């Protein structure tokens, strides 16, 4: 076991390059992180019927996520236990059985062997079929349609693992009170020449990079430079570190406080061009939002980005006319990550709204979008330097406002506007903040160093 503690000075915000480039660290992560944490593996809307399945990865292990004959969600390792061949070769579909193309062993959707060629002649009827079924992931659970799985049978329940992130997701992501969300289309996939942690910690709340990295994107969208700059002068926009101190370190960035009157009017104006069905939907949507949040101590009306530890990220928006991006950073090597991205829309939205929402997401966060390509270029340049010799001696700096995670001046300023952020779940910080990233590496180091 490699000791990563000397490389992770999270209290001072200094992370040595070793944790991003070392092959031993990467292999240890696959065991200590990806075999112990709850991992996102799909959305229920992708497998609505009995026999429906999708494939995904848990770390570097490919799994089949399916509905069995009783409608139960199950996750199996995509591996025949005879000689290790895959039994499922497609991204998604519907099946009653899965057959290994090597020797023909056949499994049903409950993971049991239902066919073995030459069972009597070859095995003399003595193969114990019950011992050679598909390996099943022991923990599977859902939240708001999001499917998670965990290899660790003794792991904490999913609700405990998600913790206070559920409060924000209930209001701004899964939104069951609006009918929930559904995934449309397939999966976009593209490679990012970077370590998976850098991509995940970026979504955990690095809004510091947005006005610089994505300047051209916002200039294209803005009517003038003043509106462009106003996007980042939002005193009532905050970031939250969840699980601060000892819990699981999920992070959410660019949370908008207060009611959403201005955004509601923008959405109504846009709906006018789509017809009366869209206008009625927008009005009903905001009425339901107001009703659901009427007793909240502080209203929240949007977030921009989030990370559920370790590697499940969301890109969101304030607009009703942009879809949500559900993103997995799949680790492939210390300096190679494969991005998997799904597009999620509000299930009950009119078709014309869904079509526009999908297009708007694809303009930004997508393989050929304006936002993802900005990020890819930055991470590629950073990775080039990680490969240098002298360059690797310089730690990454996550030290913004170290020692001021509970800064009272920030809270007092918002309290003067009638916004007591201490009433919100998690530790709330300003729009530009790095506490949630320091917490990401705190928890990572704990898991990497623990034998339990």
Average pLDDT of the residues in 312-328: 94
CATH topology of domain 163-449: Naphthalene 1,2-dioxygenase Alpha Subunit; Chain A, domain 1 (3.90.380)
Judge contact between 232 and 209, C-beta under 8 A: no
pTM value? 0.95
Average pLDDT of the residues in 442-452: 91
Judge contact between 327 and 314, C-beta under 8 A: yes
| Neighbour tally for 119: CB within 10 Å | 14
Q: Quick: pLDDT tens for 105-139.
A: 999 999 999 998 888 888 888 888 888 999 999 99
Please state, in angstroms and rounded to a whole number, the distance separating the CA atoms of residues 360 and 169: 21
413 or 28, greater pLDDT: 28
Please state, in angstroms and rounded to a whole number, the distance separating the CA atoms of residues 245 and 344: 32
Which residues fall within 8 angstroms of residue 205, CB to CB, at 6 or more apart? 239, 240, 241, 251, 252, 253, 305, 307, 433, 434, 436, 437
Please state, in angstroms and rounded to a whole number, the distance separating the CA atoms of residues 100 and 87: 5
Please state, in angstroms and rounded to a whole number, the distance separating the CA atoms of residues 293 and 171: 8
**What is the DSSP secondary structure assignment for residue 46, as one 8-state letter?**
G
Q: Quick: pLDDT tens for 363-418.
A: 888 888 888 888 888 999 998 898 888 878 899 999 999 999 988 888 888 988 88
Judge contact between 321 and 360, C-beta under 8 A: yes
CATH superfamily of domain region 39-140: Rieske [2Fe-2S] iron-sulphur domain (2.102.10.10)
- The domains of the chain are located at 39-140, 163-449
Does residue 429 register a pLDDT over 50?
A: yes
Does residue 255 register a pLDDT over 80?
A: yes
Domains 39-140 and 163-449 in one fold? no
Cα maximum dimension of the chain: 82
Buried b (16+ CB within 10 A) or exposed e, 337-357: bbbbbbbbbbbbbbeebbbbb
Average pLDDT of the residues in 214-238: 65
- What pLDDT does 168 receive? 97
**What is the DSSP secondary structure assignment for residue 294, as one 8-state letter?**
T
Please state, in angstroms and rounded to a whole number, the distance separating the CA atoms of residues 60 and 43: 20
Q: Quick: pLDDT tens for 333-361.
A: 999 999 999 999 999 999 999 999 999 99
Does residue 101 register a pLDDT over 80?
A: yes
Q: Which two tokens stand for residue 284?
A: 């009903």
Does residue 271 register a pLDDT over 90?
A: yes
Q: Using DSSP, state whether 304 is helix, strand or coil.
A: coil
Alpha helices in 293-329 (DSSP H): none
Concatenated DSSP letters for 230-277? HTT--TTEEEEETTTTTS---EEEEEEES--HHHHHHHHHHHHTT-HH
206 or 309, greater pLDDT: 309
């Amino acid at each position: 076991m490699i000791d990563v503690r000397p490389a992770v000075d999270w209290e001072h915000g200094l992370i040595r390059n070793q944790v991003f480039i070392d092959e031993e660290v990467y292999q240890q992560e696959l065991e200590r992180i990806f075999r112990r944490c709850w991992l996102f593996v799909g959305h229920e809307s992708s497998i609505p019927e009995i026999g429906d399945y999708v494939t995904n990865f848990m770390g570097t292990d490919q799994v089949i996520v399916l509905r069995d004959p009783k409608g139960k969600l199950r996750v199996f390792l995509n591996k025949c236990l005879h000689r290790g061949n895959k039994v499922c070769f497609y991204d998604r579909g519907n099946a009653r059985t899965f057959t290994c193309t090597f020797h023909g062993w056949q499994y049903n959707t409950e993971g049991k062997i239902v066919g073995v060629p030459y069972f009597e002649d070859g095995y003399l009827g003595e193969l114990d079929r019950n011992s050679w079924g598909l390996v099943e992931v022991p923990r599977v659970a859902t939240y708001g349609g999001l499917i998670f799985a965990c290899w660790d049978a003794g792991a904490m329940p999913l609700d405990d693992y998600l913790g206070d992130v559920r409060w924000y997701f209930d209001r701004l992501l899964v939104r069951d009170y609006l009918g929930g969300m559904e995934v449309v289309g397939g999966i976009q996939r593209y490679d990012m020449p970077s370590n998976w942690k850098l991509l995940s910690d970026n979504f955990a709340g690095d809004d510091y990079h947005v006005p610089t990295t994505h300047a051209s994107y916002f200039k294209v969208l803005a009517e003038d430079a003043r509106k462009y700059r106003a996007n980042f002068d939002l005193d009532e926009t905050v970031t939250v570190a969840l699980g601060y101190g000892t819990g699981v370190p999920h992070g959410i960035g660019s949370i908008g406080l207060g009611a959403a009157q201005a955004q509601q009017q923008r959405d109504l104006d846009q709906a006018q061009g789509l017809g009366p069905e869209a206008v009625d939907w927008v009005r009903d949507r905001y009425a339901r939002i107001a009703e659901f949040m009427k007793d909240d101590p502080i209203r929240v009306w949007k977030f921009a980005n989030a990370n559920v530890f370790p590697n499940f990220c969301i890109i969101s928006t304030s607009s009703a006319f942009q879809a949500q991006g559900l993103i997995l950073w799949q680790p492939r090597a210390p300096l190679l990550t494969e991005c998997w991205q799904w597009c999620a829309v509000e299930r009950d939205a009119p078709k014309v709204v869904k079509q526009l929402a999908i297009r708007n997401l694809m303009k930004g966060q997508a393989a050929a979008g304006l936002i993802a390509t900005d990020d890819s270029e930055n991470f590629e340049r950073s990775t080039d330097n990680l490969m240098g010799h002298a360059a690797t001696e310089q730690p990454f700096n996550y030290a913004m406002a170290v020692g001021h995670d509970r800064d009272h001046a920030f809270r007092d300023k918002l309290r003067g506007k009638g916004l007591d952020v201490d009433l919100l779940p998690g530790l709330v910080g300003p729009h530009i903040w790095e506490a949630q990233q320091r917490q990401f590496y705190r928890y990572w180091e704990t898991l990497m160093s623990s034998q339990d």
